[in-house]
Structure 1
């Protein structure tokens, strides 16, 4: 998110996180400070790819970030250093059928959450799902977000995935008009689907 009017509309909705991408190669790159009020119920989240500690720390201060998502090949040590700055730390991993869960073990104490996305040579934003059955073999207690190709067509299926460790759905490219510009009508429809699934599951 980077367009002021679009952000202003989005934060009126019952969402938990709003993401800003600080990766220069991304078409959603945010190049300046976003000076807009965000409700305390929504965590302002910065997404970084292989950035150094100093850059991330300064951006946390400039952008008043409450959460950081690391989407590159960041080390366990860097994750711990960023977490120690007092922000929520989310570490993203690209998953495919060959992904080995033991790659996560070293990160368990250094992150608050994992985010599982579709594996790609690029960093995120593929608009494609991975085989969610893979998650049935996830062996750790660490909670995670699901990302990658979520859409109005598969959102109910994702929400019904029977795993209490799945704590959030990352809505991105399938809910955009263009890169960095969310379709608020689609977001509204997505939230209604989620609300319906919550009521149905009670």
Structure 2
């Protein structure tokens, strides 16, 4: 999981800094996932995984001590050591809103030592918007304040626009088989997330940049 510098304050996970527009992992609802965590730095990191509780299978290849044998949501991975945890995803899923995993040292988390993953319910199938690959958002970047969303595969039931903090700043609701036009002229420049719900209930998320 982790690829970190030997020393210093420039922390990474899998050689990457956190990017809210990037999904790092995807797991299926009902699946059991083993997370392999390797700490290649010279200090310990408490790793917190959202989305439920896990059990520590081993630390450096050995069973965990008694105090770490119960349900956890944080595992301390000592310097130059490894840990393996197991978690079952059986309660919640969302095709758009991710869970986080990160170092629980605040300065490391703020420096980008964090990733995000989706839990998807595969029984719902793929949205009709994605089946034909016919969903287009333009222009992107948005320069004149107007964004057009066009679908060649199915009708659009609703649209939500979220700001970088995850707050819903615009909602549009209607069943439209034609293009949807949104006025974003009052929004500050930056990255936003557009969540689109199809008539079949499937959801698609696309990042946009407002200039």
Report TM bin, short chain: under 0.3
Compute the TM-score of the two structures, normalised by the length of structure 2. 0.20
State which structure, 1 or 2, has the greater radius of gyration over its C-alpha atoms: 2
Question: Which of the pair is proportionally richer in helix?
Answer: 1
Compute the TM-score of the two structures, normalised by the length of structure 1. 0.21
* Higher relative contact order (Cα pairs below 8 Å, separated by 6+ residues): 2
Question: Which of the pair is proportionally richer in strand?
Answer: 2
